[in-house]
Amino acid sequence: MAKAALAIHGGAGTILRSSMTAELEREYRDGLQQALDAGWRVLKEGGSALDAVESAVISLEDFHLFNAGRGSVFTHEGKNEMDAAIMDGYKLHAGAVAAIRGVRNPVTVARLVMERTEHVLLAADGANDFAAEVNAATGDDEYFHTDHRYEQLLRAREEGVITLDHTNEDRSPNKAETRPVGSVQKTPKSLGTVGAVACDRQGRLAAATSTGGMTNKKYGRVGDTPLIGLGTYADDTCAVSCTGHGEYFMLGVTAFDVAARMKYKGLALDSAAREAINNLTRIGGEGGLIAVDASGNISMPFNSDGMYRGSVTNDGKIVIDIY
């Protein structure tokens, strides 16, 4: 019997102790703990890795400080557009949604795309139409409105920036773009994405990722989160969920890169995950990932100042960390 394990993340970026109050840090840690509890409860009772990652990500989507679900950032039009993906490594099946609106838990809709359609990814109006067909729980504008996110939008509009909430530098991979990318947030700045990876007692692996995207984004931008192999991936080798500047994770095919390094180079999980992050650094990207293998080993590397993260292993050891 395999050793059950669960890891979660709530985003990576410029997360400094100097800009974090004790109260805010406690709130972030509480949110991570709640998500760990939700996912571990499933695994402890003999449930599947797939159920565990969905449960953990639902908890993160419901938590107002993380950029997913309820806490999603605003687009230029003042709307919330969300992306999510989930992958069953045991069956090698996946489902995803992009630019979905008004749905409380996009990760659940992504799972239903996997289980009830012949497709992997549904986007925009099509994703919303499908969500309505499956009676997905919805929220009105008030549900998705958080003051600090709306203040970010107002500042971003005023400064004419599309922000990833993590840096004052223009880190766009396409330098020909005329739009600047910069930070407008006064509190700890993270590349807001949430995710979970799990190994269950049968050795089955699963991964799930969810995000609200970029503040003040336009043009229907979609990042790496809902793209299988880029921001989310699982097979019989490992399960991976990424968080960071999505364009670079797209260029690096980072989630699958971890699995490829294990399968084709024969690396252990931690070495493969760290090499994948080193490659991300080489091409100019910032962020991190969480990964688990079929033996219940966990790796959570990142190249940013911090990453909201947590894990539980078969021996009951709980880790929650930020810096």
Active site residues: 193
- Residue 224 CB burial class (10 angstroms; 0-12, 13-18, ≥19): buried
Residue 169 has a CB neighbour count (10 Å cut-off) of 11
Question: Would you list the DSSP string of 163-214?
Answer: B-SS-SS---S-TT--S------SS-EE--EEEEEEE-TT--EEEEEEE---
Residues with Cβ within 8 Å of residue 203, at least 6 apart in sequence = 2, 294, 295
Helix axis angle for 106-116 and 49-62, nearest 10°, is 150
Quick one: how far is CA 290 from the chain centroid? 10
- H-only helix segments in the chain: 22-44, 49-62, 106-116, 124-133, 141-144, 147-159, 246-252, 254-265, 269-282
- Amino acid type, 200: D
Please give the single-letter amino acid code of residue 239: A
Residue 279 to residue 220: CA distance in whole angstroms: 28
Work out the number of other CB atoms within 10 angstroms of the CB of residue 4.
Answer: 24
Decide: 255 and 230 in contact? Cβ < 8 Å. yes
Could you tell me if 48 and 203 are in contact, meaning their C-beta atoms sit under 8 angstroms apart?
no
The residue behind tokens 């995950």 is 273
What does the alpha-carbon distance between residue 204 and residue 296 come to, in Å, rounded to a whole number? 10
